[in-house]
Chain A
Amino acid sequence: MDTDRLMNWIGRFSIHLVVLILGLCCLIPLLLILSASFTDEIALTRSGYSLIPSQFSTSAYEMIFRSPQAIVRAYAVSIFTTVVGTIIAVFIMSMLGYALSRPTFVLRKPLSLFVFFTMLFNGGLVPYYILMTQYLRVQDTIFALMLPYFVVVYYVLILRTYFAALPGELIDAARVDGAGEFRIFLTIALPLAKPALATIALFTALNYWNDWTTALYFIRDPQLYPLQYLLYIIQSNAQAMQLQSGVGVNLGEVPTQTTRMAMAVLATGPAALFFLFFQRYLVRGVTLGAFK
């Protein structure tokens, strides 16, 4: 009995230890950034990064808040694309997934092939760019940031499987009661698929929130920079300037280390808090998907 309890205890202890170490690995870099953003610039260079600021200073934040428009604007763009984009994307993907799941749908096979073909083969970056900028002409609009994620084939696949698992009798019954296809979809299928929709909505929202490559390709107007792209720009500008200081030309002001850290805190902080609140839904949504 005692050895059993001991083994049990050791097992639990080692699992906790592993999880604890992994957790710290995630947490410490964030704390370092937070601490660095509150450190005096010169002190940071002298004594390096530490978990507790070696010399407390809020100058980096004062610097940013002297002209906070860029960040506020980027937040607005990110929130708008995330909210509006997710709603539209989930609606489109669920309609597509539902249609593909219906055995009575005539074009089911060709449409399935058309959709899933793009999962294996795609034209590559340059044709994508040409399509978006020269045919659809959406560059430098907020629409360009949302369009690419309206249909993610993998999510359509998940939704189709989910819809296909709904009892067919339900849908037949609805038809007998006189409901049209659209009504069946809206009032019967969609409410039943809530867990799947929640999961897909969450994934899609995260895609939108974390996306910066779309902005890199299609957005030139600083007014439309989403948050992640703004951060990327600030970091990569600083790097580009430092790399090129060897050519003997003056490349202008490089944002200081502390300012960059403060930007990172301001950009990720609220998003991280947001995530804490929604974490339980995420966990529930992911496991729900797994059982089906």
Chain B
Amino acid sequence: MAKGFSRRDFLKGMGIAAAAGGVSLTGLTRLAKASPSRFQDLPRLVYIYPGAPQPDVQRVQDALSEYMAERIGATIELRALDWGVYNDQIGLINASAEVYDLAFTAPWINNYYNNVNQEYLVPLQDLLPSLAPSYWASMTPATWEAARVAGGIYGGINQQIFVKPFGPYIRTDILEAVGLGDEFANLTSYEDLEPLMAAIKEYVDQDDTLTHVTYNLSPLNVAENWGFDPQDALLVVRSTDENAQVLIYPQTDEFRQASELIRRWYQAGYAPQDVAQWGEMDAAWTAGQYAVRVSDIVKPGGNAETEARWGWAVASKAIAEPLLTTGSVTATLNGISSTSANPELAVRYLELVNTDPVFFNTLCKGLEGVHWEWADQDQLLVRPANGAASFGDTGYNPNTDWMFGNVFNSYYTDPTQVGAWPQTAELNRNARPSPVLGFTFDRTPVETEIASISAVRTEFGDPLGSGVVDVDEGLARLNQALLDAGIERVRDEMQRQIDAWKSA
């Protein structure tokens, strides 16, 4: 009974096909993930970190797994979450006790202190010395102390530049044009910058492409510039004060002098009249609209990095004293999840990634000959493999070495960078520890006050920082508002905590 293929049969078939299509679509993506591995029976460490998806991540992951399997008997899964959603997603993963082993954590993303309070991380102070001896020995005890919270160290510190020697950056073409190279090289304070700014202002007025001497990058907001270790909520500790007395930053003489300096710059027309945003500032720098970045981190290799990132060759000069602070040491940590089944293996992974340059650079830059190749092996200088124009075109370039481990093991990617790591390490070693290095303020008793202080800072502090208000008047208003917001209670609480921390 051969029956014709009716319309109904056709529709039925389509429905089944569509349903099957949906199923196979999900099936395929599952399949692509579970690619066969020779080390299936070894434990696999899941490492979660922020980063843009990289096309070749699977190849790198396989290579890393093979390397790890021989050395510590485990493999790795790299799970990069997009930058903008990292906080949300890792928050859900932690809250729902999803199983993973390692994650990037810091005070500024995937909040380290919050994670410690919620017991999402494993304490490492006992595991590190025995399971990761070289890594543990690679940093001074004072440095490790900086990551200590409530008696425990909950994150592996990535060595990078720990000090923040802030200072001005200036475009070399303009510096040459005004002929003040020596004066710039001999700067010791922001006041010394004034004659330079005046000379550049004259140059700017004659040049069509330039619109301003500088943009809104106020040295006032960075308390390190004036000899302080900034704490929470506009409170500071003088970097030379062994007694660690907590001061209200806007009440200090330095703050007043800095405000007056910025006010003078503003009145001389060095900066735009309206307060610019960070993003606009970088775009305007790229567009070549201004000559000086007043207060940025000056570091070895920093000039090359700035040029590579935004264009324009620059010179720079550190003004702030290199100071080792809690915030700068804990800026990049890798924590081990309390849901991890293999915390010991995860610690051994930290040892490997922080002390083995081959492993570390594979994670950072991909495979030799595929993603990078030696430009000069003696100098540890690499270039994009197979004639690719940039590392971004090679298929694997997370470009976040500082997130994965000790950056001093990283291969150089630019000839002008060569030798920067030993210099930076030297800078770290010679930095003076802040009197409150290792102290972290517990905000909980004064959270309301801190919230109002932050609002006051935006309303009355920022205008001073960009010089748009009269100093006497603006400072009086800021200080009054801070008193009203309860800054003295916060100061007293912080002092109490610091005293307790010092005597412990």
B84 contacts A249, C-beta separation under 8 Å: no
A244 and B109 alpha carbons, distance in the complex (Å): 9
Chain A residues near B30 (CB, 8 Å)?
A: 140-141
Contact with A along B283-315 (1 / 0, CB 8 A): 110111100000001010000010001000000
Chain A, Cβ-Cβ closest to B80: A220
B279 contacts A242, C-beta separation under 8 Å: yes
A143-B26 contact, Cβ under 8 Å, with A130-B96, A250-B309:
yes
Q: How many residues of B contact A (CB 8 A)?
A: 51
A80 and B79 alpha carbons, distance in the complex (Å): 26
14 A-B contacts (beta carbon < 8 Å): A129-B96, A133-B96, A140-B29, A141-B26, A232-B85, A237-B52, A237-B83, A240-B50, A241-B83, A242-B282, A243-B278, A244-B108, A250-B400, A252-B400
Which one of A84, A243, A245, A248 contacts B22 once the chains associate, using CB atoms below 8 Å? A84
A118 at the interface (CB under 8 A from B): no
Which residues of B in the span 247-301 have a Cβ within 8 Å of any Cβ on A?
A: 278-280, 282-284, 286-289, 297, 299
Which one of A222, A235, A245 contacts B278 once the chains associate, using CB atoms below 8 Å? A245
A1 at the interface (CB under 8 A from B): no
Report the stretch among B87-95, B116-124, B237-245, B438-446 that lies at the interface: B87-95
Chain B residues near A5 (CB, 8 Å)?
A: none
Which one of A45, A133, A143, A242 contacts B286 once the chains associate, using CB atoms below 8 Å? A45
A126 contacts B96, C-beta separation under 8 Å: yes
Which one of A42, A80, A126, A251 contacts B83 once the chains associate, using CB atoms below 8 Å? A251
Interface residues of chain A, those whose CB is within 8 Å of chain B, are 42, 45-46, 80, 84, 125-126, 129-130, 133-134, 140-143, 216-217, 220-224, 232-233, 235-254, 257
A45-B283 contact, Cβ under 8 Å, with A129-B92, A221-B29, A247-B331:
yes
B83 contacts A220, C-beta separation under 8 Å: no
A235-B81 contact, Cβ under 8 Å, with A129-B95, A252-B52:
no
New contact pairs (13) apart from A45-B286, A244-B109, A252-B52, CB-CB < 8 Å: A42-B286, A42-B288, A45-B289, A46-B289, A129-B95, A141-B26, A216-B85, A217-B89, A235-B84, A236-B84, A247-B331, A249-B402, A253-B392
B322 at the interface (CB under 8 A from A): no
* B331 → chain A closest CB, angstroms: 5
* A63 → chain B closest CB, angstroms: 12
* B79 → chain A closest CB, angstroms: 7
A140 and B79 alpha carbons, distance in the complex (Å): 13
* A204 → chain B closest CB, angstroms: 17
B25 at the interface (CB under 8 A from A): yes
* A46 → chain B closest CB, angstroms: 6
A142-B331 contact, Cβ under 8 Å, with A240-B84, A250-B399:
no
Chain A, Cβ-Cβ closest to B98: A133
A46 and B285 alpha carbons, distance in the complex (Å): 10
* A150 → chain B closest CB, angstroms: 14
B82 at the interface (CB under 8 A from A): yes
Chain B residues near A254 (CB, 8 Å)?
A: 282
A80 and B85 alpha carbons, distance in the complex (Å): 24
B73 at the interface (CB under 8 A from A): no
Which residues of B in the span 206-236 have a Cβ within 8 Å of any Cβ on A?
A: 211
Chain B residues near A222 (CB, 8 Å)?
A: 53
Chain A, Cβ-Cβ closest to B403: A249
Chain A, Cβ-Cβ closest to B222: A246
Which one of B89, B287, B299 contacts A216 once the chains associate, using CB atoms below 8 Å? B89
* B425 → chain A closest CB, angstroms: 16
B433 at the interface (CB under 8 A from A): no
A217 and B287 alpha carbons, distance in the complex (Å): 38
* B72 → chain A closest CB, angstroms: 26
A257 contacts B283, C-beta separation under 8 Å: yes
Contact with A along B176-217 (1 / 0, CB 8 A): 000000000000000000000000000000000001000000
Chain A residues near B309 (CB, 8 Å)?
A: 250
B83 contacts A240, C-beta separation under 8 Å: yes
A267 and B331 alpha carbons, distance in the complex (Å): 36
B143 at the interface (CB under 8 A from A): no
Chain B residues near A143 (CB, 8 Å)?
A: 22, 26
A248-B299 contact, Cβ under 8 Å, with A222-B53, A233-B82, A242-B279:
yes
* A193 → chain B closest CB, angstroms: 22
Closest 10 CB pairs of A and B: A236-B84, A141-B26, A252-B399, A45-B287, A248-B297, A240-B83, A237-B83, A237-B84, A45-B283, A242-B279
B92 contacts A248, C-beta separation under 8 Å: no
Chain B residues near A141 (CB, 8 Å)?
A: 26, 29-30
A233-B400 contact, Cβ under 8 Å, with A126-B92, A244-B108:
no
B164 at the interface (CB under 8 A from A): yes
Which one of B29, B52, B84, B161 contacts A223 once the chains associate, using CB atoms below 8 Å? B29
Which one of A140, A248, A251 contacts B164 once the chains associate, using CB atoms below 8 Å? A248
B388 at the interface (CB under 8 A from A): no
* A146 → chain B closest CB, angstroms: 9
Chain B residues near A130 (CB, 8 Å)?
A: 96
A46 contacts B82, C-beta separation under 8 Å: no
Chain A residues near B282 (CB, 8 Å)?
A: 242, 245, 254
Chain B residues near A245 (CB, 8 Å)?
A: 278, 282
A140 and B402 alpha carbons, distance in the complex (Å): 29
B142 at the interface (CB under 8 A from A): no
Which one of B84, B98, B397 contacts A239 once the chains associate, using CB atoms below 8 Å? B84
A142 contacts B25, C-beta separation under 8 Å: yes
A237-B400 contact, Cβ under 8 Å, with A42-B287, A130-B96, A221-B29:
no
